Amino acid sequence: MFVSGTTSVDPYSPTNAPRMLHPEDARQQTRVALEESIRAIQGLGGKGAEDIVRVKMFVTRHKDCEAVGRGISEILGKYNRAGSGMIGAAAIMIVVNGGFIDKGMLVEIEVDAVMGQIYTVYEKIATLS
């Protein structure tokens, strides 16, 4: 499953004038966008964060990269069975020169998820020991 273009747009704002939640807080925008992605996965029958295998983070300001990474880790890190705090998914962060259409949008998230029984790298390694 592919969930793309997820941002921190206020779901109650009008579609012709969307309002960004947390306009100057990249960490909070990341959390809102990732939580929305997780709800989309669950809405289509997936478990949620546990199904995520890849995360793409698009960031408008280089100075926000650490905050975005922290927001991702705060949510996905708790699902890592090894308890390392690592997110347990392939990830890439890209700085978008010039920003997005809405200047208040600091972060856009895309996730790829696999529904059903899959091994995490950590579970596979455990079976080899």
Predicted confidence (pLDDT) per residue in 77-114, tens digit:
876 555 555 567 889 999 999 999 888 999 999 999 98
Q: CA 52 to CA 34: how far, in whole Å?
A: 11
- CATH number listed for the domain at residues 2-128: 3.30.1330.40
Predicted confidence (pLDDT) per residue in 4-40, tens digit:
999 999 989 998 988 999 999 999 999 999 999 999 9
Res 14: pLDDT: 93
Res 101: pLDDT: 86
Domain boundaries of the chain, sorted by first residue:
2-128
Q: pLDDT-derived band of residue 123, with 50, 70 and 90 as boundaries?
A: low
Evaluate the CA torsion angle 124, 127, 86, 115 in order and state its sign. positive
